[in-house]
Amino acid sequence: MTKEEKYEAMKQIRDEVLHLTASPLYAYRTEHKYLPVIGEGSHDASIMFIGEAPGRNEAQTGRPFCGAAGKILDDLLACIDIKREDVYIGNIVKDRPPENRDPLPGEIEIYGPFLDRQIEIIEPKVIVTLGRFSMQYVMRKFDLEFELEPISKAHGKSYDAHAPYGPIHIIPQYHPAAAIYNRELLDTIKADFEVISKFV
């Protein structure tokens, strides 16, 4: 795809999500005047970060990872000399679940195809999953279900997979928000991010 074609394809996704009245989260979004969070970054990124669902800050601004967890993610990227604008950051679920609860299976099912299309547009060589829901979705998508294990064991590992456009590496990580509530985890997450730097 050309740059223009990628832009138009992403714009189409944005427009579809914006008017996704079939979503169980649509009424909650409109009631609170929230925005869908489609994702942001380079459409030519070789690394794609995928979280689970937006929180309140994200739903208010329409930007992924812009709150406390986003600050941690920015710091982690800086630690491995990666600029945020050079990667693509998004979530499986594009609308905020009430009270920041975990996304439900039906919500993942309705929003997952939009993420699938984003991956096809960007064609990343590395997908970093942030949190267990993201890990489970992406590993199943790339036929790695047989390798699934708890995120406490999978974090920081690299799994080889194959996308329609070529080989790809899946790297599960803890969600940055986990370090907000458990500061001791931050050192583990920093060490895990060093794995990503091998593919830059």
CATH of the domain at 130: 3.40.470.10
Q: pLDDT tens digit string along 1-58? A: 899 999 999 999 999 999 999 999 999 999 999 999 999 999 999 999 999 999 999 9
pLDDT along the chain (200 residues), means of 10: 94 97 96 97 97 95 93 94 95 95 95 98 97 96 94 94 95 92 88 88
* Residue at 124: amino acid letter: P
Tally of residues, the chain: 200
Q: Give the pTM.
A: 0.95
Q: pLDDT tens digit string along 47-56? A: 999 999 999 9
* pLDDT the model gives residue 181: 81
Number of domains in the chain: 1
Name the residue range of residue 163's domain.
3-197
**Residue 38 and residue 44: Cα distance in Å, rounded?**
16
